[in-house]
Chain A
Amino acid sequence: MAPDPIPARPFPTLECRNCGAGAPVDEHFCPQCSRILALGRHGDYFSFLGVPRRLTIDPAQLERRFRDLSRQFHPDYFYNASPSERLASLERSSYLNDAYRALRNPISRIEHLLAIEGLPPAKSEGSSAGSGQTAAKVPAGLLEEVFELNEQLDEIRESRESGTDAAVLRDRLDSARKPIDLKREEHERKVELLSAQWDQQLDAGDAAAKRATLEALRERLLERNYINNLLATIDREAANLEARADSSVRL
């Protein structure tokens, strides 16, 4: 299936450094002299790749598009070109690689969509500082599970320090993990539903409904970060148990 045609912009926003002709921002080559165009300030990976702004993308089609554009931009083919064309080739190739990387993965695809639709990034404040969930606000749908898990983790830590058998603790950790795994599965389903909803609205939805879907997607991403942090905490505790089991064997 050929990608949908890119809607023409009313005003040219790129200027060819070779012939001075104007070109729409999503053009890669000058319509007049067919030289590669400097990238300019492009911000939309979907339109750059020439694919519609959908969250359901056929990976094989996206990959073909990536390969086609790579063959057009790659610096290998601009070795003998002018310095400005070489720079344009380097910039376009880099941008293409970034775009493909972002759209290939369903979650980073949503993140990019939210960014170009003008929503604030769905990054919980505490996550980059490394300390994890303590700094971030607990998403409403997770309150119960988080409370339960923290209680159990505290107990497991205490038992670990008082020397309870590692196998017993591992079982307890596994059962503490189960509700979080279930939440994670439920979360995946919700993300899929919302993504499908967005794709339908893209063709026929009104602005308010689309906005609501995007907000909901953003909430889901915040929730996702939180769930992943919880799972990471459980994994760390499991690693602690393993380490202790190892050292006791050695002793």
Chain B
Amino acid sequence: MGKVVGIDLGTTNSLVAYVRDGVPHVIRDASGDALVPSVVSLGEDGTFFVGREAQRRLLTAPSRSVYSVKRFMGRGIDDVRDEAALLPFNVGGQPGGVVRIGLDDREFTPPEISAFVLRELKQRAEDDFREQGEFDFEVDRAVITVPAYFNDAQRTATRDAGRLAGLEVLRIVNEPTAASLAYGLDQRDRGIIAVYDLGGGTFDISILKVEDGVFQVLATNGDTHLGGDDIDRLLVELVLAEIGPGGSKEQHANGGSKEQDPPYVSQPGIVGRVLLSRPAEEIQAIRKAVIEAKLDLTEAEEAEIRVETLAYRRPITRAEFEQLIRPLVERTIQPVRQALADAGLEPSEVDEAVLVGGSTRVPLVRRLVSELFGRTPHSELNPDEVVALGAAVQADILISGRREMLLLDVTPLSLGIETMGGVVSKIILRNSTIPASGREMFTTGVDNQTSVDIHVLQGERELADDCRSLARFKLRGIPPMPAGLPRIEVRFQIDANGILSVAASELRTNIAQTIEVKPSYGLTDQEVERMLIESFEHAQADVDARLLIEARNEAESVIHATEKSLRRPNFAEIAAVDLQAGEQERIEAALDAVKQAMAGSDRDAIRERTHALNHATQHLAEVMMNRGVREALAGKNVKDV
């Protein structure tokens, strides 16, 4: 068995942590950095960059670099069209299907992109274990965190990403709950805790009751599309509005050409293309500049947005910044109130408020949380790292069987099925402790009907159209009977990951029904399998590409060394004195052969001919070395005299 880690797969950054001797540690790189930017970039030679390197490429190769992919997990193109318009990479997909991201001529689903980040984290952890001298350093299992308010499709997409990265996902844990575990390690007290988690792309509020080491979530709420990204976007829009379309500030002032909104051209079946009014490089440069200003405003009262490439500079005060983002931050108030109401608590009954997520560093956010709960929130643990630490603790609980602590989480959204007239009948209510189950009876409407269609939804609204479609099921193999006679019991089970499974049987005959699942915004098992195979194939292709590069480099250096010898001014003399007849011709032929092979991409040919050239020049190399030694000795002798 390999090692087990906890992973915080974030919108902006991701981290990996593990427990050693009962204490969770975040794994850092050589420079002490724990954050791996959740950015994936496809290099021009077909290799992939992940993390910092990919983040740098956001500026130089924006259309080949994907960020914030978490926002697209388990979603359809119709859900994300608006925000996709501001992204410099291609986002598309078929209406009603999963989002697809185009990089060069290849297409990726969000789980595939996330898998690159997970593989990087896995690699980082394995390197760390190897450095510690662990014999068994392979990481094969992980606990991965998700926003508490993620729905079934988003959770399943996250689990798929883990599988694609070669990780068995032991558990999907909610981020605020994981954070509370990390806090609970130090403070073994009891009481009501509110975890306010504002990350790069998502907002969660969870209300927990802690007693006897049991961390019981009473209620959770949130917004899976609210976070630091949105703050950045407001600032980018501010800058874009000021510099105007397609030019500098001056051009805009002159009236210029007011461009229409960027057209969104969707090509069904292949990747849709988002056309931006400005080059992607500029958007990314602006984005980088506003993020720096935003970070500065955490401490400073005034900062400057500076985009060198556009000769754009603009001071921004904290007051101005807060005025701009206030509506966004205030969108967190309603979910907090709802969670408290669902938990049956008043804000004053909350004993501790805990801040999680990088965006809780924004002073306005801190003030708001203090006001909401009437107390200063906790932020002793690094808000970027606390979720990964909690994930590591949960992973340790799972494999060690330690029972001091137990997480009891809830399902964030009600689960229901569509009934007559498009009304949703709720089967498992939101904030039910998981695992949770529910059952519903169905029958047939027509004589001898052998199948029934069932539409499963998640959400709080009354009508199916207003809820999130999770899947459509077809119950097959119902024994032929008069209409209304079959009694088909469908059992819904939400497991400890918050993921749904369904089973059914006809009670009169006790025949189990086969269920055909068509996830509305997810991948089927077959698709995940296919992607796994493809990723292995691509992994092989990536290895091939790397080996070819290495062969080329080696050939280059041998060619260079040979040509250097051949070009020596006294080569004719050397050849005449030391080389055998025809030796020079053989060397030149071998050299040409390598150069020819270099024109192609046959790695074996390049290596063979490089080897042959090495062999052909072996004698020449010895001659050269002897001469060198003689010259050196001669020089020494002269000196010594």
Choose, from B6-14, B324-332, B376-384, B429-437, the stretch at the interface.
B429-437
CA distance A70 to B170 in the complex (A): 19
Q: Given contacts A95-B437, A97-B433, A98-B437, is CB(A76)–CB(B399) below 8 Å? A: no
Kindly identify, within residues 204 to 254 of chain B, every residue whose CB is under 8 Å from any CB belonging to chain A.
211-212, 214, 216
B528 within 8 A of A: no
A90 CB contacts on chain B under 8 angstroms = 435, 493, 495-496
- Does B495 contact A77, Cβ atoms closer than 8 Å? no
Considering only residues 41-76 of chain A, those with a C-beta below 8 Å from chain B are: 67, 70-71, 74-76
B407 at the A interface (CB under 8 A)? yes
Closest residue of B by beta carbon distance from A68: B212
Shortest CB-to-CB span from A240 to chain B, Å, is 18
Cβ of A130 under 8 Å from chain B: yes
> Could you tell me if B437 and A76 are in contact, using CB atoms closer than 8 angstroms?
no
Identify which of A71, A80, A97 contacts B432 (C-beta below 8 A).
A97
Give chain A interface residues in 75-100, CB to chain B under 8 Å. 75-77, 79-80, 90-91, 93-95, 97-98, 100
| Contact in complex: A70, B214 (CB < 8 Å) | yes
Check if B406 sits within 8 Å of A94, measured CB to CB: no
With A79-B398, A80-B401, A90-B493 known as contacts, the answer to whether A100 contacts B423 (CB < 8 A) is: no
Q: A67-B211, A75-B495, A75-B496 are in contact. Are A98 and B436 (CB under 8 A)?
A: yes
> Is residue A189 contacting chain B, with contact meaning CB distance below 8 A?
no
Complex Cα distance A91/B216, Å?
A: 19
- In Å, the complex CA distance between A91 and B171 comes to 17
* Interface flag for B408 (CB, 8 Å): yes
- Is B624 located at the chain interface by the 8 A CB criterion? no
B20 interface contact, C-beta 8 A: no
Q: By DSSP majority rule, is chain A's interface helix, strand, loop, or mixed?
A: helix
Contact B214 A71 (CB under 8 A): yes
Q: Shortest Cβ distance from A42 into chain B, in angstroms?
A: 12
Q: Decide: A76 and B435 in contact? CB cutoff 8 A.
A: no
Return chain A residues, CB-CB under 8 Å to B291.
none
A77-B403, A130-B423 as given contacts; A93 in contact with B170, CB under 8 Å: no
Bound CA span A93–B211, Å = 19
Interface footprint category on A: 10 to 19
> CB distance B434 to A97 under 8 Å?
yes
Roughly how many angstroms separate A115 CA and B432 CA in the complex, as a whole number?
Answer: 21
CB pair B406–A100 under 8 Å, yes or no, is no
Beta-carbon contact of A101 and B214 below 8 Å: no
CA distance A228 to B435 in the complex (A): 31
Q: Does B397 contact A (CB under 8 A)?
A: yes
Which residues 257-271 of B have a CB within 8 angstroms of A? Answer: none
Question: Given A71-B406, A76-B397, A76-B496, are A94 and B214 also a contact pair (CB < 8 Å)?
Answer: no
> A98–B435 Cα gap in the complex (Å)?
9
- Which residues of chain B are within 8 angstroms of A79 by Cβ–Cβ distance? 170, 398-399, 401
Docked Cα-Cα span, A98 to B428, in Å, equals: 10
Q: Which of B398, B406, B493, B495 contacts A70 (CB 8 A)?
A: B406
Complex interface bits, B390-419 against A, C-beta within 8 A gives 1, otherwise 0: 000000011101010011100000000000
Q: Chain A contacts of B495 at CB under 8 A?
A: 75, 90
Contacts A97-B433, A97-B435, A100-B433 given: A76-B212 contact, CB under 8 Å? no
The B588-640 residues at the A interface (CB cut-off 8 A) are none
Bound CA–CA A100/B423 (angstroms): 28
Q: CA of A77 to CA of B401 in the docked complex: distance in angstroms?
A: 5
**Cα-based distance from A95 to B423 in the complex (angstroms):** 27
Q: Is the CB of B407 within 8 A of A94?
A: no
Give CA–CA (A130, B399) in the complex, Å.
48
With A71-B403, A76-B407 already in contact, the answer to whether A97 and B423 are too (CB < 8 A) is no
Chain A residues with CB under 8 Å of B407's CB are: 76
User: Distance in Å from the Cβ of B390 to the closest Cβ of chain A?
Assistant: 14
Chain B residue with Cβ nearest A89: B435
CB of A70 within 8 A of CB of B408, answer yes
Shortest Cβ distance from B215 into chain A, in angstroms?
A: 11
Q: Indicate with 1 or 0, residue by residue over B319-340, a CB within 8 angstroms of chain A CB atoms.
A: 0000000000000000000000
Instruction: Report the Cα distance A130→B398, complex, angstroms.
Output: 45
| B416 to A: closest C-beta gap in Å | 13
Q: Which residues of A contact B496 (CB under 8 A)?
A: 74-76, 90, 93
Q: Looking at the complex, which one of A76, A95, A97, A100 makes contact with B398 (CB distance below 8 Å)?
A: A76
* A-B pairs, 3 with minimum CB distance: A94-B437, A97-B433, A94-B435
Cross-chain pairs A/B with CB under 8 angstroms, 20 sampled: A71-B214, A71-B403, A74-B406, A74-B408, A74-B496, A76-B397, A76-B406, A76-B407, A76-B496, A79-B398, A79-B401, A80-B399, A90-B435, A93-B496, A94-B436, A94-B493, A97-B432, A97-B434, A97-B435, A101-B432
Given contacts A77-B401, A95-B437, 19 further A-B contacts (CB under 8 A): A67-B211, A67-B216, A70-B408, A74-B408, A74-B496, A75-B435, A75-B496, A76-B171, A76-B397, A76-B406, A76-B407, A80-B399, A90-B435, A90-B495, A93-B496, A97-B432, A101-B432, A101-B433, A130-B423
